[in-house]
Amino acid sequence: MSLEPVLAGQNSEIIEVEPSRTLKEVAKLMTDNADATITVVASRGVIVGLVSHRDIIRAIAWRGVAALDDAACVHMTSLYSE
């Protein structure tokens, strides 16, 4: 999957986080970098998913503010389906 269509119109810098980073940390990165999508990268630089504003809002709707302490990988949009 190409990231260009997903990231079109976003900040030109691709911001990457580890899957274990919290949604709160990801939200802060989004705010600090005026970016709506953060790339989740596993070991060896493999992109495993994306966290968008929508993912964070959905997580809070389901679990309340406690979701902000969850790992990004729990609520990210996965690039791989099982």
- Per-residue confidence (pLDDT) for residue 81, from 0 to 100: 62
- In the chain the domains, ranked by start, together with CATH numbers, are 19-78 (3.10.580.10)
* Whole-number Å distance between alpha carbons of 71 and 41: 13
Per-residue tens of pLDDT for the chain, all 82 residues: 555 655 555 555 789 999 999 999 999 999 999 888 999 999 888 999 999 999 999 999 999 999 999 999 999 999 876 5
Question: What pTM, to 2 d.p., does this model score?
Answer: 0.79
Radius of gyration of the chain, Cα coordinates, nearest whole angstrom? 12
- pLDDT for the residue numbered 82: 56
In three-state secondary structure terms, 13 is coil
